[in-house]
Structure 1
Amino acid sequence: MSLKGKTLFITGASRGIGLAIALRAARDGANIAVAAKTAAPDPRLPGTIFTAAEDIEKAGGKALPLAVDIRDEQGVEAAVAKTVETFGGLDILVNNASAIHLAGTLDTPMKRYDLMHQINGRGTFLVSQKCIPHLKKAANPHVLTLSPPLDFDVKWFKSHPAYTLAKFSMSIYGWAMAAEFKDDGIAFNCLWPRTTIATAAVKNLLGGDALMKRSRTPDIMADAAHWILTQPSRTCTGRFFIDDEVLTASGITDLDKYAVTPGGELAPDFFVPAPGSKTLVGDI
């Protein structure tokens, strides 16, 4: 159950959940390609690819900071090639980068629509496409996409249809590629949080400090991702995982340690299916 010596390519790893997953792998002694856009400090957001790389090295891993816009095909190709050249191969891809704009049809500018679909859907497809040839050569290759179960209850669509479709496109690609590359032994899974996670997006875009206090820390997603990424890739694939279900099944019962406010009320995240909902299970 270790990622020691494994090489991970993580999009959006300069902060938040992506960085938490990177740091968890780094504690095992993994190599991390930090593929993100933020190369210079932004007063609105914490962290850059360089500060993330420093934190990864301090945690015990090896880091390669890469300034990458996952909408740029040539840029992605170059970043993946640099990762393979630096670390000698590629074992794991984490599709974490994502854009969000929570608004209805009339309040969604096409610029925002395009951004979400170019980063979430197209970006996930593009980065996966460029990594797969290298993953085919790995001993236990995994692709993990941070996207939700495919729950087709209209309540998830009616208030922000463009965002929902952009996130679901990430899940559909993971589900489809699990079947497409099953014979190659590459695992494709999706992971989603049951509650809101204390990230800059939650604070700046969704609910400020009040919602942050009702959230769990990114560590719960990192620990759940670690468990998934250490499973046999030929048997653990085509799944939609919820973070706390993963940890409970793996024997971790104290989930309160992940709460920003231990013992406090937690805020549910979008897209978590209710019992009996029209969910595409996705087992391959």
Structure 2
Amino acid sequence: MPSLKDKVIIITGASRGIGRAMAIRFAQEGATIVIAAKSEQPHPKLPGTIHTVAKEVEEAGGTAIAVQLDVRKELAIKKLCDQVGEQFGRIDAVVNNAGAISLTTVEDTSPKRYDLMQQVNSRAVYCFAHYALPYLKKSDNPHILSLSPPVNLDVKWLKDYSPYSLSKYGMSILSRGMAEELKPYGIAVNTLWPETYIATAAIEFAVGNKETLNYARKPEIMADASYIVLTHPSKNYTGLWLIDEQVLKAAKVTDFSQYAYNPEFEEQIQKDLFLD
């Protein structure tokens, strides 16, 4: 199985949550992590910036490159891909982790919020693939991994927040199509989604509240699953809508208690959105 040592990996939204956990996990294998996120300055309610994560990456044994990035700005994405690609001669993986969420109906979703979700979610996947492609082609095990769910057209996932569902399903449909398009280049394109709630700001503020975190798993489960995905040979592991728990079980992981945010609530962990 390929290693992540010295691999050059761009992770969007990497200043906290799942993106941060991924950055640290990959750094433990000696990877170079491009920490691309908007959070350059501390947020009053949310811990973590690109600079604090860069320090954690270095401490974990990796090389960190902190870049302030708004994934809605395609020319900023192009500039980042060109700078990283030219500096290292390649890009080995792009992880589209940055996300925007609003669990609101069409009636209650403003056009501004609607556009934000489409731009940050599905459009950013396209932009990164478009601009990173020349450098991914130069990698010996290139991957594009996006955090989006299997497409589930049950109306219960559409009725109450179809604008958000559309933006996430757009990521998954685009990824499935790109997997076939980019197969001749040996570039793997997959999606990854958690089986359960993950203890992040999105769950605390957009889905529930601080108490909701008790019914979630730690971001490290997504980090461990994504590590397995990115170390698969890219030529024969592509076009998949993956679930973190299934990825780990296939890798012979049996102890999931280690991932419980609150061990006292382990038996009550909540299944994530879009999964029946």
Q: TM-score, normalization: structure 2?
A: 0.96
Equivalent pair of 1:64/1:83 in contact (CA under 8 Å): no
Structure 2 residue identity aligned to 1:20 = A
Tell me the CA shift for residue 85 of structure 1.
Answer: 3.5
Residue correspondences, number: 273
Q: What's 1:19 paired with?
A: 20
After TM superposition, the structure 1 = structure 2 runs for residues 33-44 of structure 1, keeping only pairs within 5 Å, are 33-44=34-45
Residues of 2 paired with 1:45 and 1:17: CA distance? 14
1:264 positional shift: 3.5
2:68 is the alignment partner of 1:82: no
Name the SS for the 1:107 alignment partner.
coil
1:151 matched to 2:182? The reply is no
**Offset from partner CA, 1:90-122 (integer Å, 9 cap, x none):** 100101111001111111011100100111111
Structure 2 distance, partners of 1:258, 1:42, is 26
**Shift in Å, 1:205:** 2.0
Q: Any idea what SS the aligned residue of 1:34 has?
A: strand
1:160 match: 161
CA offset at residue 237 of structure 1? Answer: 0.2
CA-CA distance at 1:89 after TM superposition: 2.0
Deviations 1:208-233 (A, max 9, x none): 22210110000000000000100010
1:1-284 to structure 2, matched below 5 A, reads: 1=1, 2-262=3-263, 263-272=266-275, 274=276
- Is the 1:31–1:87 Cα contact (8 Å) retained in structure 2? no
CA positional deviation for 1:158: 0.2
75-84 vs 150-159, which moves further? 75-84
Instruction: Give the deviation of 1:165 after TM superposition.
Output: 0.2
Separation in structure 1 between the aligned mates of residue 44 and residue 86 of structure 2, nearest angstrom: 33
Counterpart CA distance in 2 for 1:45 and 1:192 is 23
SS at match of 2:195: coil
The percentage of aligned residue pairs carrying the same residue is 47
Secondary structure of the 1:151 match is coil
Equivalent-residue separation in structure 1 for 2:133 and 2:159 (angstroms): 35
* CA root-mean-square deviation: 1.0
**How much has 1:154 moved relative to structure 2?**
1.0
State the shift of 1:70 in Å.
1.1
Task: State the secondary structure of the residue aligned to 1:29.
Answer: coil
Once the 2 structures are TM-superposed, how far is the Cα of residue 19 of structure 1 from its aligned partner?
1.1
CA distance in 1, matches of 2:199, 2:87: 33
Q: Structure 1: which 5+ residue stretches go unaligned?
A: 275-284
User: How far apart in 2 are the matches of 1:204 and 1:123?
Assistant: 23
Q: CA deviation digits over 1:136-174, x for unaligned, max 9?
A: 111010010000001111110000010000110111111
Q: Normalised by the size of structure 1, how large is the TM-score? A: 0.94
Whole-angstrom CA distance in 2 between matches of 1:207 and 1:99: 15
Partner amino acid for 1:233?
Answer: S
Measure, in 2, the Cα distance between the counterparts of 1:73 and 1:147: 20
Partners in 2 of 1:223 and 1:261 — Cα distance?
19
For residue 224 of structure 2, give the secondary structure of its aligned residue in structure 1. helix
